[in-house]
């Protein structure tokens, strides 16, 4: 391991700054304190990934319950309210607690390595982002234990389903938990994105020009911009909804002059860019994997990046295609229909570029490549049904039917999740230093591919013959049973595949019997593969000077003038910023603030509404205290002295 070869600096007096309220964990911190206070982007990335995989299991169990309920007509595995809660929680969990944080895990771990940086621009803010995400996930799932249980409003929370007067259970707190957890998760995403944007723009190694950056890093940049521009819309929509529910405002209250339609617009102005926030990271991963396993440079590097940017840009101009049946009028509907058709073009360009990359290449079918190919084919099916929906009359037929469920699962599982699994199989050797078992990996792919198609392909047909989505049961005589049973069997197979996959990923970090990975087991192309596996604490012992795109490949096979160089070792060593308790403390303060807001109202003895903000104020005070102490403690730090020949 790395520690053996590092000569540690004698403790410097200059690194001990002011006295602190919480003693700052020093250089040799290990164990649980290290993980709680770490500001290392690699550890933060791993915690992001682990938490998201845990939520993937929870969301998966919710999905399996939904599938069991639909096994046959008039089943009662779940009551209708439980069914509504289940699809709400499944959707919210999978979008905000699984796909986004899994992408964030890769952003965190890989992006600094790919641009030759020692960390992100604001390491402590990165830790705050992680803890806000954990708090958000906790808040959402705490909802099960309070009045009304978890929300039953759909992941989209359409008004007036969220109106307190229409709650099935009096004093239903589900939507409140939902609102506050989304606010926390939004904060986590925003903090991370500001950080990534600054890092990519400002912290590239010498010679790492924008057009030499790996495609995955480019997609990180584009997605970060999408997040900072799209999340404000839902943040404000949720603030307005929170005011509606808590302080009786009328934003979405149609009985008192509000317009439920406005919620849909605000939600989808966020919601459609969100679709690209979910898929672009997977596209970035696949763009890294396909060239490696085709042993060819990426075909049309510039075009792939440019179409990614165009997709991101146009993603803000197509939101109303989620609302074709709400009666927006001919002009708006036509405009959004045309723009939706246009956005298929940059997506198609990417697919042709991936095919072009493989064309004439010497393709190896290792597990990451299988997932990449699965991604392309499955995402294409989802894309084609998407183009069908851009046509307004067809959309009106498909609206709220199982066809739509099939469409977006092809994009989100066949697309995003396959892409992310591809990333895990590709990069876990880099993260853990050990190779994953190929046969087991291929088994996981086979199970997931077959299970996924068995589950979701029949849903196209079910939708066409009229099975409505978000409906907890169906009657006999519609001919829905057979295909639903196939889908339920498929979902079980998919679940087994995913579970084995997750086991394999985690096992790689603990099982010492696995084959060591070495620096570059796949003969891969980008900068992170020039480093030892697992990557050392300081990433780069000596700052690299980049000479070409695909630097790792050029170093092995390219002309001499394209080989990267290294800046000389610094006499002062590598400066590492200190760990800090304050990100965790600040996130804890925000968590208490949210709990305080959720439970601030009660009914007094005379039946009057009593508002008590004590807990909320305590939480806010803790958070503000954390921020102030954070800014006073400064980055501080210590120095590491890598040896001359270390990477």
Partner 1 sequence: MSDASAHALDHHEPVTSTGIPNKKVLMWAFLGSDCMFFGTLISTHLIYRKISATVGGNTLDVRDIFDIELTSFSTFILLASSLFMALAVSAIHKGNLKSTRWMLFGTIIFGSIFLACQVYEFTHFAHGKENVNGDLEHQLTLSSYAGKTLEEGKDAVLEPHVFGSTFYVLTGTHGTHVAIGVFWLIGWFVYSFTGKMSTADAMDIECCGLYWHFVDIVWIIIFPVVYLMEYAF
Which residues of this protein are in contact with partner 1, per CB under 8 A? Answer: 12, 14-15, 121-122, 190, 193-195, 197-198, 201-204, 208, 228-233, 235-237, 239-240, 243-244, 247-251, 253, 255-259, 262, 266, 269, 572, 575, 628, 631, 636-637
| Cβ proximity of 614 and 2 under 8 Å | no
Q: How far is the CB of 118 from partner 1 (least distance, A)?
A: 9
Q: Closest distance between partner 1 and the C-beta of residue 380, in Å?
A: 32
Which has the closest alpha carbon to 98: 41, 153, 42, 155? 155
By CB atoms closer than 10 A (0-12, 13-18, 19+), residue 559 is exposed
| Residue 206 or 466 having the CB closest to partner 1 | 206
Nearest CA to 307 out of 357, 244, 354, 261 is that of 354
Nearer to partner 1, 229 or 387 (CB): 229
Q: How many CA atoms lie within 13 A of 70 on its CB side?
A: 32
Minimum distance from CB of 227 to partner 1 (Å)? 9
Q: How far is the CB of 593 from partner 1 (least distance, A)?
A: 14
Instruction: Report, in Å, the least distance between residue 190 CB and partner 1.
Output: 7
3-class secondary-structure state, position 137: helix
**Burial readout 564-580 (b: 16 or more C-beta within 10 A, e: otherwise):** beeeebeeebbebbbbb
Omega cis (within 30) before 160 = yes
Cα 46 to Cα 582: distance, rounded to the nearest angstrom: 20
Nearer residue to partner 1 within complex by CB, 203 or 506: 203
Q: What is the rounded distance in angstroms from the CA atom of residue 495 to the CA atom of residue 488?
A: 10
Closest CB to partner 1 among residues 1, 255? 255
Beta bridge partners of 639: 575
Residue 419 to residue 167: CA distance in whole angstroms: 39
CB of 224 to partner 1, least distance (A): 8
Minimum Å gap between C-beta 641 and partner 1 is 14
Q: How far is the CB of 260 from partner 1 (least distance, A)?
A: 12
Backbone angles phi, psi at 401, to 5 degrees: -110, 170
**Residue 200 or 447 with smaller CB distance to partner 1:** 200
Nearer residue to partner 1 within complex by CB, 65 or 616: 616
Given the complex with partner 1, which of 227 and 381 has the nearer CB atom? 227
End-to-end CA distance of the chain: 13
Minimum distance of partner 1 from residue 314's CB (angstroms) = 17
| Residue 481 CB coordination number (10 Å) | 15
Q: Which residues contact 210 (CB under 8 A, 6 or more apart)?
A: 204
For 233, the token pair is: 């819309």
Closer to partner 1 at the Cβ: 141 or 195?
195
Minimum CB distance to partner 1 smaller for 227 or for 444: 227
């Amino acid at each position: 391991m790395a520690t053996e070869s590092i000569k540690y600096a004698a403790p410097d007096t200059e690194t001990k700054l002011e006295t602190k309220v919480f003693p700052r964990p020093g250089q040799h911190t290990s164990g649980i304190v290290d993980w709680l206070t770490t500001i290392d982007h690699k550890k933060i990335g791993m915690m992001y990934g682990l938490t998201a995989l845990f939520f993937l299991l929870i969301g998966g169990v919710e999905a399996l319950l939904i599938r069991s309920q639909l096994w046959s007509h008039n089943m009662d595995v779940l009551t209708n309210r439980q069914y509504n809660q289940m699809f709400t929680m499944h959707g919210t969990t999978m979008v905000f607690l699984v796909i986004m944080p899994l992408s964030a895990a890769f952003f965190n771990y890989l992006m600094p390595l790919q641009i030759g940086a020692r960390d992100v621009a604001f390491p402590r803010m990165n830790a705050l982002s992680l803890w806000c995400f954990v708090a958000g996930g906790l808040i959402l799932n705490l909802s099960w234990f309070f009045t009304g249980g978890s929300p039953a409003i759909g992941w989209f929370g359409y008004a007036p389903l969220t109106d307190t007067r229409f709650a099935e259970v009096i004093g239903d707190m589900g939507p409140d938990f939902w609102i506050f957890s989304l606010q926390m998760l939004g904060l986590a995403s925003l903090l991370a994105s500001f950080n990534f944007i600054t890092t990519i723009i400002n912290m590239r190694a010498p010679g790492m020009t924008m057009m030499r950056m790996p495609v995955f890093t480019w997609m990180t940049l584009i997605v970060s911009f999408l997040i900072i521009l799209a999340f404000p819309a839902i943040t404000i929509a949720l603030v307005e909804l929170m005011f509606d529910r808590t302080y009786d405002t009328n934003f979405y209250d149609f009985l008192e002059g509000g317009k439920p339609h406005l919620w849909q617009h605000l939600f989808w102005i966020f919601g459609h860019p969100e679709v690209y926030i979910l898929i672009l990271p997977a596209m970035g991963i696949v763009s890294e994997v396909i060239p490696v396993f085709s042993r060819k440079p990426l075909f049309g590097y510039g075009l792939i990046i440019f179409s990614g940017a165009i997709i991101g840009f146009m993603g803000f101009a197509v939101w109303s295609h989620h609302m074709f049946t709400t009666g927006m009028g001919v002009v708006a509907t036509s405009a959004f229909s045309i723009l939706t058709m246009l956005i298929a073009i940059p997506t198609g360009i990417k697919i042709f570029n991936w095919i072009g990359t493989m064309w004439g290449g010497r393709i190896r079918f290792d597990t990451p490549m299988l997932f990449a190919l699965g991604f392309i084919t499955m995402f294409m099916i989802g894309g084609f049904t998407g183009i069908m929906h851009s046509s307004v009359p067809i959309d009106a037929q498909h609206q709220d039917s199982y066809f739509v469920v099939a469409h977006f699962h092809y994009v989100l599982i066949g697309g995003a999740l396959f892409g992310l699994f591809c990333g895990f199989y590709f990069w876990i050797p880099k993260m853990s230093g050990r190779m994953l078992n190929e046969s087991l990996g291929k088994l996981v792919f086979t199970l997931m591919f077959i299970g996924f198609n068995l589950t979701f392909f029949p849903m196209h047909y079910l939708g066409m013959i009229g099975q409505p989505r978000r409906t907890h049961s169906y009657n006999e005589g519609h001919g829905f049973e057979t295909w639903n049973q196939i889908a339920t069997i498929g979902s079980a197979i998919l679940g087994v595949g995913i579970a084995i996959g997750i086991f394999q990923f985690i096992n790689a970090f603990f099982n010492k019997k696995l084959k060591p990975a070495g620096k570059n087991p796949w003969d891969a192309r980008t900068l992170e593969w020039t480093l030892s596996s697992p990557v050392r604490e300081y990433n780069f012992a000596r700052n690299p000077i980049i000479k070409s795109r695909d630097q790792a490949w050029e170093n092995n096979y390219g002309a001499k003038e394209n080989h990267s160089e290294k800046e000389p070792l610094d006499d002062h060593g590598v400066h590492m910023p200190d760990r800090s308790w304050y990100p965790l403390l600040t996130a804890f303060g925000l968590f208490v603030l949210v709990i305080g807001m959720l439970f601030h109202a009660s009914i007094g003895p005379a039946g009057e509404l009593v508002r008590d903000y004590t807990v909320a104020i305590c939480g806010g005070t803790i958070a503000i205290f954390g921020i102030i102490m954070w800014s006073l403690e400064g980055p501080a730090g210590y120095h590491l002295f890598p040896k001359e020949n270390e990477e």
